[in-house]
Amino acid sequence: MKNDPLLQPFQLKHLRLKNRIMTASHEPAYAEDGMPKERYLAYHLERAKAGIALTMTAGSAAVSKDSPPIFNNLHVYKDEVVPWMKKLTDACHDQGTAVMIQLTHLGRRTGWWKGDWLPVVSPSHRREASHRAFPKKMEDWDIARIIKDYVDAAERMKEAGLDGIELMSYGHLMDQFCSPLTNTLDEPYGGSLNNRLRFNLEVLSAIRKKVGNEFIIGFRFTADEVEEGGITTDQGIEIAKIYNDSSQVDFLNIVRGRIDTDAGLTDVIPVMGMPSAPHLDFAGRIRAVTDIPIFHAAKIQDVATARHAIVSKKLDMVGMVRAHMADPHIVRKIVENREEDIRPCVGANYCLDRIYQGGEALCIHNAATGRELTMPHHISKAKLIRKAVVVGSGPAGLEAARVLGERGHQVVVFEAAAQPGGQILLTVQSKRRAEMISIIDWRIKQCNAFNVEFNFNTYAELEMVINEQPNIVIIATGGYPDTEALEKGNQWVVSTWDILSRTIKPGNNVLLYDDAGDHAALQAAEIIADSGAKLEIMTPDRSFAPEVMAMNLVPYMRSLQEKDVIFTVTFRLKSVRKYGRSLRASIGTDYSDLIKHQYYDQIVVNHGTKPMDEIYFDLKPLSSNHGEVNHEDLILGKPQNLVRNKNGKFQLFRIGDAVSARNTHAAIYDALRLCKNF
Ligand SMILES: Cc1cc2nc3c(=O)[nH]c(=O)nc-3n(C[C@H](O)[C@H](O)[C@H](O)COP(=O)(O)O)c2cc1C
Ligand code: SF4
């Protein structure tokens, strides 16, 4: 392990980085009042304790008030940020981890309706598709003011003891200056490449003058916008050389692509089913033409690819952002020769999609990420060993079994199916979403290490559970598709699960009615459209697939738009009647009494699931708590102690979709926060 290329130190100017693994900057949206408080610190400290060399904090920390915090960005334009950043930096430094921060002005990549309601600014009036604000075209005094804001923010970070800063130049203001697509200014800041780069270089020089040489400054920039009229590779290389020749830049972090649309962003930061490390070779090309250390991150999910990036000399430092959200202990596990224990990032992109919906970053299958103050990444041993029965082995059941197993309890799992996975088995029917199976595989491997006993093809009955003489029973039986969505005619429709499981073949002229708005609908839609059928997707909502979210929608749209699928929003399927060989759909709307009738030969309904709860209600009267959960204790992370039946010999709990239809993260969080306390 000592010779592992990933574990070799890297000398960045005066700063010694202890290995080659870093987290590239990413705003997890954990700030409180724009400040990196305890939650923010705990998140970074977890990675630092596990041995990461460098944590690039924030992501898009706002240097100016007219860079409104669209995804709960840090307000580094305020002096009060200094003590908070100092606390975080000191804590990480104590672990030997270097700390930097990404500073930015978002330019047009934000909304005027946030923060102080100032107009957003950009070097052109052109609107960004993703954030939709029409920017003010910058004047000379905007430019002077923002350069000063950058300098002040950099000074604050130096005062807080950080090792350096990264200036963000892709998609944000700096890149809006550089790109011919977003800069319509006249000289001296518009026109030629040198003019377009002038703003960045003036910011750089002004900061350098203030902070001196002993402070690291780098650029994260797009070296190829991959769009007609945008920055080309040749120009990107020229920009890199200009930074190189300035002798003021200490590292470059390479990005390829544009992020002004959901589709563009998804090509820059690929999701599951897209190629791994797609821009690594490109970053290597930039490394070959400059003397500046090169950083890069884009779907380098696993240790082998990270190692390859270093060995092949494509990078000096490997950024693994989402990989660390899935498992913050990657470096520790490499050092301890436990790579197979690393919880894999499956590229579900729940983390990133959530922040663009105003939420905080959460990992689909690590419920402790971002909750370090209350949820453990490492499960400690219980003092009292107990016997637990878990019914069901989908994500909720397996997480319960894993956590109880790691606590040291004796765990028996009953599963009606021949294999574990629950709804994930349906998810992976789409080739593009096959990586989701790692959520199951990783847990099975962990459970095996903790001697969890699995009984497949075993439909749990009351007697069977009681015979195990358990102290704890967890019901994680999941749900079954609910097709009772209509006023009349439910017997004529099929479910998305019927299509996904290939139990029912797609018809020729299909209506897919989706009021759940989750992946199941669009996955079924892909199967139907791929079969050559005519397909209409209808939802009563204002937009379709709201639970799928922005970047996850991209691959679906690429496939469905190609096949002429019709998308109908704001119409509600009321009832269905058999009409000869056709189905007559009565379609209404929540907005008026309008009713229209349309004909299909198949109607597929996606209406969530109903809990599979028979065994729970069978066991409930026999349990000591009658299945009741003390929510206060659950939220506070305390053990469950409710007693409703003194004769009860076991505590009983239900988790995941066996309670109500939710998602994979909710199921796993249910299991972790309950079971860590037994
Ligand atoms: C939750 C989240 C927030 C992010 N925010 C930023 C940001 O503010 N600035 C930035 O340059 N990149 C941001 N990124 C992109 C990451 O730095 C990185 O480029 C991307 O996640 C690809 O690397 P990965 O495949 O290792 O995750 C963000 C990523 C995530 C997951
Ligand atoms: S949500 Fe998905 S992409 Fe994000 S860290 Fe977790 S596994 Fe990786």
- Residue 470 CA to ligand 2 centre (angstroms): 34
Contact 34, 84 (CB under 8 A): no
Residue 62 CB less than 6 A away from ligand 1: no
Q: Specify whether the backbone of 359 is left (phi greater than 0), alpha (psi in -120 to 50) or beta.
A: beta
Closest among 347, 345, 243, 234 to 294, alpha carbons compared: 243
Give burial (CB, 10 Å; 0-12/13-18/19+) of 21. buried
Q: Which atom of ligand 1 is nearest to the CA of 270?
A: 25
Q: Which atom of ligand 2 is nearest to the CA of 362?
A: 1
Q: Which atom of ligand 1 is nearest to the CA of 352?
A: 1
- Residue 43 CA to ligand 1 centre (angstroms): 15
Residues of the chain with pLDDT under 70: 1-2
The confidence score (pLDDT) of residue 1 equals 63
| β-pairing verdict for 54-62 and 509-514 | unpaired
| Distance from C-alpha of 50 to C-alpha of 670, rounded to nearest angstrom | 26
Strand partners, 475: 391, 654
Cα 344 to Cα 50, 398, 443, 653: the distances in Å are 16, 15, 10, 28
| Distance from C-alpha of 508 to C-alpha of 310, rounded to nearest angstrom | 52
Residue 296 CB less than 6 A away from ligand 1: no
Phi and psi for 654 in degrees, rounded to 5? -115, 140
Question: What percent of the chain has pLDDT above 90?
Answer: 99
Alpha carbon 276 to its chain centroid, in Å, reads 16
- CA torsion, ordered 559, 561, 565, 570, to nearest 10 deg: 110
| Distance from C-alpha of 346 to C-alpha of 366, rounded to nearest angstrom | 11
The confidence score (pLDDT) of residue 603 equals 98
- Residue 357 CA to ligand 1 centre (angstroms): 15
Residue 53 CB less than 6 A away from ligand 1: no
Q: Which atom of ligand 2 is nearest to the CA of 321?
A: 5
The confidence score (pLDDT) of residue 152 equals 98
- Residue 269 CA to ligand 2 centre (angstroms): 12
In angstroms, the first-to-last Cα distance of the chain is 36
> Pocket residues for ligand 2 (CB within 6 Å)?
322, 325-326, 345-351, 363-365
| β-pairing verdict for 216-222 and 572-579 | unpaired
Amino acid at 514: D
- Residue 26 CA to ligand 1 centre (angstroms): 4
The confidence score (pLDDT) of residue 445 equals 98
Residue 172 CB less than 6 A away from ligand 1: no
- Residue 358 CA to ligand 2 centre (angstroms): 17
What digits encode the pLDDT tens for the residues 30-76?
A: 999 999 999 999 999 999 999 999 999 999 999 999 999 999 999 99
